[in-house]
Amino acid sequence: MVTKGDNKSLIPRIDWQNLVFERITSGDLLNWIEEYGSDILFQFDSKGYAPIHWVSKFGLHDITTTLLENGVSASTPADVVCGAQPIHIASMEGHTEVIDVLLSYGADVNARDKYKCTPLMRAVMTGSHHVRNSRTILHLLCRGADPYLFDGNKFSVLHYATLKEDLEAVNLFLNIGVNPNLRSQIGVKSLHIAYYTGNYQIVKRLVIASSVSPYAIYSLHQRQFRANKSIKSLLADIYNYGASFFMVIWFLSILVFMYPAYVYDLVPNSMEYVKLHVVLLASSGLDWVLWYATWATRSYVQPNSLEYKKVLEAKLVSASKLKEEIKKISESKSKERIKLPGIPYFSVKLCHTCKIIQEIGTKHCSYCNRCIANHDHHCIYLNNCISSYNRILFIALTFSLAVTGSSLIIILYISLQKTNYKVNWRQFGLFLLALNLCFNGGLMLVHSIIKLFKNLVI
């Protein structure tokens, strides 16, 4: 085998990314090796990466196997500042198959890069408020990743999950016993980071987990309010009372604007069309009834932490078996491939926030912060999730809203005819409101019916 130093002097650094890709997509990696010898697989490109790093980045696990079979080390560090190994790169990109291939050739699941970061830390770091990577995190844990390690700055995985505002990961780490009171080198706790990012849910979760006194919870809450995310916290508080910002706007526009404007501007000009007024008032009344019924029907999945704990533990148990086998292989120094143990309950999805097993169709709603069975969507005007429990009510509501909107438009048209189309601001406002009722009502009606049929088919 040619060492890295020799290669540097023999062949100038090449831009592998394109070359590796070209060879892989044309399917002649093996011919390529025959042509240039397998030394080509140990070369580093101008960016400091070898082919093994690129295939790990792009999740090409078959090619990863070929490279490893040809003697490439599964723990080759890249010639870059952080010195990432292929397993770090695969963890950042969420390629669990590549992670497994690398492990089966003896890569260390707790390998450290130059910043002493483990693959698990790297996986947590790539998560964000919008992109959840709990699947990769759980996979690494099942493969023996140690969640209690620190990086070079004494930051734990919990610090990183908090920084990334990944509530799912924060809950997972707390559930498996990561200490929330750990301090980094400069004395920073996860809770400090949570204040900095201003994530209300994570602050709450960490406060409870750190068993801070009730007074401290109150003062932390006040501090959170004063942080520059006050609008966010205010909204969070309104949500806690079962209302939402849009709901308030909605109520005000109907009660304070629509009804008075209707009585004042439209009724005097359209007295003779009694049937139309009856339709409008009846459907408007029905709107409120259906609105209340849809709002009051909550379809939260009840927490079942015992079942959750059982599955989570079963998933994590495979780690210890694997660790022993990898240890044996690395002690014997053979380049043999290890057969990785299967992960029990592999396809069972868990929600680490609600501590439940997620059935098909169950989704965690970030507004309600609860898991919803047969989730359709979260309605901001109802501040409730639409699911199979209240879908029929919701369809009736949208239909009824569309009737209200269209009868309002007809009455508006008749009264405008009487006044020779002189429009005042209230009538214009009524027109916009009615249009919104028809449009939104109609749109959601179509959406819900499509969703209903999809669910029936599945």
Site residues, Zn ion (CB under 5 A): 351, 353-354, 364-365, 367-368, 371, 378, 385
Smallest distance from the beta carbon of 233 to Zn ion, in angstroms? 19
Smallest distance from the beta carbon of 241 to Zn ion, in angstroms? 15
Please say which residue, 50 or 301, places its beta carbon nearer to Zn ion: 301
Please say which residue, 254 or 365, places its beta carbon nearer to Zn ion: 365
Residue 404, number of CB atoms within 10 A of its CB? 26
Please enumerate, as own/partner, the contacts of 321-324 that have beta carbons within 8 Å and a separation of 24 or more: 322/103, 322/143, 322/144, 323/144
Please say which residue, 84 or 161, places its beta carbon nearer to Zn ion: 161
The phi and psi torsions of 363 (rounded to 5 degrees) equal: -140, 145
Smallest distance from the beta carbon of 367 to Zn ion, in angstroms? 4
- Two structure tokens written together for 394: 């919701």
The phi and psi torsions of 238 (rounded to 5 degrees) equal: -60, -40
Please say which residue, 172 or 416, places its beta carbon nearer to Zn ion: 172
Q: How far apart are CA 40 and CA 137, in angstroms?
A: 33
| 229 DSSP 8-state letter | T
The full DSSP string for 149-164 is ---TT---HHHHHHHT
Task: Check residue 45 and give left, alpha or beta (phi > 0: left; psi -120 to 50: alpha).
Answer: beta
Please say which residue, 367 or 431, places its beta carbon nearer to Zn ion: 367
Task: Check residue 350 and give left, alpha or beta (phi > 0: left; psi -120 to 50: alpha).
Answer: beta
DSSP-based three-state secondary structure for 422: coil
Smallest distance from the beta carbon of 299 to Zn ion, in angstroms? 10
Please say which residue, 311 or 329, places its beta carbon nearer to Zn ion: 311
Smallest distance from the beta carbon of 301 to Zn ion, in angstroms? 7
| 101, 65 contact by CB (below 8 A) | yes
Please say which residue, 41 or 137, places its beta carbon nearer to Zn ion: 137
| 262 DSSP 8-state letter | I
Smallest distance from the beta carbon of 319 to Zn ion, in angstroms? 24
Smallest distance from the beta carbon of 312 to Zn ion, in angstroms? 14
Smallest distance from the beta carbon of 351 to Zn ion, in angstroms? 3
Three-state helix/strand/coil letters over 79-137: CCCCCCCHHHHHHHHCCHHHHHHHHHCCCCCCCCCCCCCCHHHHHHHCCCCCCCCHHHH
Please say which residue, 78 or 312, places its beta carbon nearer to Zn ion: 312
Smallest distance from the beta carbon of 39 to Zn ion, in angstroms? 51
Q: How far is CA 47 from CA 16, 17, 43, 81, 390, in A?
A: 9, 9, 11, 11, 55
Please say which residue, 351 or 397, places its beta carbon nearer to Zn ion: 351
